[in-house]
Structure 1
Amino acid sequence: MATLEVEGLAKNFGGVQAVRGVSFAVRPGEMLALIGPNGAGKSTCFNMLNGQLRPDAGRVRLLGRDITGLAPRKVWRLGVGRTFQITATFGSMTVLENVQMALLSHHRRLGGLWTPVRRLDRADAEALLARLGMAAQAERPCGILAYGDLKRVELAIALANDPKLLLMDEPTAGMAPQERVALMALTAGIARERGIAVLFTEHDMDVVFTHADRMLVLDRGTLIAEGAPAEVRANPRVREVYLGGSH
């Protein structure tokens, strides 16, 4: 069974059709890239999947369950994690505390008790930070971290929810080239290890073609291509509207 199934998704803003009948699926452990020029409808599509926008038409299913139009907190509780183009962490709290908060919230979702301190949450947070190469930063406040490190913290927070689906909005934006490669390699490894379906948007085509198992291409709200990276790279329409001659 696909983790995420999207069928006929559509959204209008006044007379503008931002997303037009988009359908696709993401399988467990798969890295699926959603790309396209600015204004193609990528963010609108993401926001409908996450519950921030209600579709005008279409259906969104998570592991066979219809989640169309559910509020973001309800979507999160069902096992959907998300990272954002601009990182969102508690700047005055340490890296470890940020991840512990996410773990505590996750355990409440599973019916556990909220307690001031849980050794399990601390151990789990430390293990997750070590997996992401952030163990040495655990006691530092997020407000003083370099941007690349903040991206890793945000990923740790999303993974603390033990997601079945991970939505990543431009996960390497603002990062140095080497940091981009390292972050996406980590994400791909964890996704395959845990069977997490990953849908990500990204403007860095080197990142996309290196790490995506499949790609979707949007143009003016319409899905114009879908397939393996080599197929998308060779697609004449995709080259015309987005890739040009550089890829």
Structure 2
Amino acid sequence: MNVSTPVLEISALTKHYGGVRALDGVSFAIAPGELLALIGPNGAGKSTCFNIVNGQLRPDAGEVRLKGRDITGLAPRRIARLGVGRTFQVASVFGSMTVRENVQMALIAARGQVFRLWAPAHRMAREEALALLQQTGMAAQAERPAATLAYGDVKRLELSMALAGDPGLLLMDEPTAGMSGEERQAMIALVRSLTRARDLAVLFTEHAMDVVFGHADRVVVLARGRLIANGSVEEVRNDPAVRAAYLGGVTPAASEAP
């Protein structure tokens, strides 16, 4: 992990909704190969932060830099083309298409080939799609309709699609939501493996503390729009401000999920 060259730098990010400060001067960075958890209670500002990085919201103040480039306020599609992928809390795939076809469409879109209608889509990026599915453990289900997948496999498919643009930064909104304990561990272990193999920076939100404390390299904690902690798992678990604001005043066990 090379902490001297951040993939993402957030500086003094601020966003108001009327008199409410959803983000209040938040700053942190993430390095290549780092799995960074962004946690906090409901209303802490996590979604606002994600949506600003992704370009869906404009900040009132502050700056977002991707590999040194200012991307503050750029459109989501442009940010994606610069190397930012995203998965969502509720996974969305094309149920009528096969697993492979979903990834092919993501690859075609990432390359800006959507309007090349004269080229049969089913032939485009086929091998690349299969290679991505191999990386996420979905190759054996490549020809299954996406609508028939179990939920955990839908999440893996969505991850495959998010990787289609070969991002340097991946934003994951509760990647293990709706999964059993065993599925959660398998999913986050896969993400961790991909993070290392691709030298990928991953910023993720998560409510399952077994996932956060068991796998994150570092944890950033927001409360009422402000950053109250930024450190290792152990530093955050033992931080009095975190316990008071987020974890009910007690040091959580790794299996606890507030």
Q: 2:237 is aligned with what amino acid?
A: R
Matched, 1:10 2:18: no
> Which of 75, 81, 88 does residue 84 from structure 1 map onto?
88
* Residues in 1 aligned to 2:122 and 2:84: alpha-carbon distance in whole angstroms: 24
Q: What is the TM-score of this pair, normalised by structure 1? A: 0.95
Match among 230, 233, 236 for residue 234 of structure 2: 230
CA distance in 2, matches of 1:80, 1:118: 25
Structure 1 residue 40 corresponds to structure 2 residue 44: yes
Normalised by the size of structure 2, how large is the TM-score?
A: 0.91
Which residue identity does 1:51 align to in structure 2? G
- The residue identity in structure 1 corresponding to 2:30 is V
Query: Quick check: 1:64 aligned with 2:68?
Result: yes
User: Deviations along 1:14-50, whole A, 9 cap, x unmatched?
Assistant: 1111110000000001000000011101001100000
2:227 counterpart letter in structure 1:
L
Q: CA shift at 1:120, angstroms? A: 6.7
SS in 2 for 1:108: coil
Say whether the 8 Å CA contact 2:167–2:200 is kept in structure 1. yes
Which is further off, 114-123 or 53-62?
114-123
Distance 1:222 1:166 in 2: 23
Question: How far apart, CA to CA, are the structure 2 residues paired with 1:164 and 1:118?
Answer: 27
Q: Does the alignment pair 1:52 with 2:31?
A: no
**Structure 1, gaps ≥5 residues long:** none
Q: 1:176 matched to which residue of 2?
A: 180
Alignment correspondent of 1:198: 202
Q: Residues 148-163 of structure 1: matches in 2 within 5 Å?
A: 148-163=152-167
2:212 to 192, 208, 215: 208
* Number of residue pairs aligned between Structure 1 and Structure 2: 246
Aligned match of 1:239: 243
Supply the distance in 2 between the matched residues of 1:66 and 1:95 (Cα, whole angstroms).
35
Alignment RMSD (CA, Å): 1.7
The CA distance in 2 between the partners of 1:201 and 1:226, in whole Å, is: 14
Question: Identity percentage over the alignment?
Answer: 64
Q: Which amino acid aligns with 1:154?
A: E
In structure 1, give the amino acid aligned to 2:35: M
Q: Where does residue 256 of structure 2 map in the other structure?
A: none
Q: Does 1:187 align with 2:220?
A: no
CA contact (8 A) 2:104 2:124 kept: no
